[in-house]
Homo-oligomer: A and B are copies of this chain.
Amino acid sequence: MRATTLHGPRDIRVEDVPDPTLELPTDAIVKVRAGCVCGSDLWPYRDEATEGWRTIGHEAVGEVVAVGDEVRQVRVGDFVVVPFCHSDGTCPHCRAGVHSACTNLGMTVSGQAEYARVTQADGSLVAVPGGAPDPALLPSLLTLTDVMATGWHAAVSAGLRPGSTVAVVGDGAVGLCGVLAASAMGAERVVALSRHEPRQRLAREFGATDVVAERGKEATAALRELTGGVGADAVLECVGTGDAVRTAFAIARPGSTVGFVGVPHGVELPVNRMFATNVGLAGGMAPVRRYLPDLLERVLAGTMEPGRVFDLTLPLEEAPEAYRAMDERRAVKVMLEP
């Protein structure tokens, strides 16, 4: 099949690789209808020295073309949303809603390709009722595999309550989805921290009531003023850098929780500040499967259109340009069509 492959820092290619196969009786193979590049793909893209090459991409929707002998819930021909992390749905962690800590955890590893292997197909895949959807729905369905579910997880982890004031740190696809989640959950005031005009606009369309363009101490001061000196009732940290985490804790009101979903890079948590202010931290890798049925219903009902985070669509063959566009912040998120 044709697949995006990573060879070394900024050396990304599309080339022929062996098709994935059913390796276990609980596997399924999905013919990818749409994949995309994640902000977290940029970390290995920028840094990773690989031995030879590896496929990349953990977000995909498409059609099931093969299932293992033990797969019962999913059939060939189903059009499915593939959570980036695969889970059995039956272990103690899945039953507690922490599918991302499944004892049989798997990952999509060729989402930017023609085919993807899904481990734990029964526990992971969610079929779209009625089969292949209206193509206009593809972008939104694709966000459910990761970024929308991740933004939702940030809001859940932060303990967001209706009527509250929420601040969202990060204006990438996850941050924007966090704004959408906060708004859908009934936050009265949603403050988006964003310096980029097109992203500010989308944040407002997703429900942001206020935008703070400042960074660092100025952002903290602006947030304090917006909240009468109190701080935000809940903070969604959707970046994962040290600066973003520092800002998140600085704007959180005492007793609140920072919901964090950005893969941490160079983060040192301010434990003394957390102790003095009783600001907690919760979140992590999103248990996508937990939220999927609810989010799918919202997307199909048209009450939520997270697919608007895609501002560029390219054929799979142009994956290298997709990475460049996101790396240079020319695009928020790029969809790839095999």
Contacts and interface: CB of A to CB of B under 8 A. Distances in A.
Contacts of A283: 275, 278, 280
Interface secondary structure of A, over-half rule:
mixed
Interface string A253-292: 1110100100110011101101111111111110100000
A98 interface: yes
Contacts of A98: 254-255, 278
A254 B285 CA distance: 11
Given A98-B278, A264-B271, A264-B275, A93 B253 contact: yes
A68 to B, nearest CB: 26
Contacts of A97: 255
B101 A278 contact: yes
A254 B157 contact: no
A91 to B, nearest CB: 9
A96 interface: yes
Contacts of A260: 275
A279 B283 CA distance: 7
Contact of A101 (B255, B268, B284): B255
Interface string A71-92: 0000000000000000000001
A97 to B, nearest CB: 7
Q: In which size bucket is the chain A interface?
A: 35 or more
Contact of A278 (B254, B275, B287): B287
A265 to B, nearest CB: 10
Given A93-B254, A254-B93, A282-B282, A101 B277 contact: yes
A277 B281 CA distance: 13
A104 to B, nearest CB: 13
Please list the 8 inter-chain residue pairs (A to B) with the smallest Cβ-Cβ separation, ordered nearest first: A280-B282, A101-B254, A98-B255, A278-B284, A269-B269, A275-B284, A98-B254, A264-B271
Interface of A: 92-93, 96-98, 100-101, 157, 228, 230, 253-255, 257, 260, 263-264, 267-269, 271-272, 274-285, 287
Given A98-B278, A278-B283, 4 more contacts: A92-B230, A101-B255, A268-B271, A278-B287
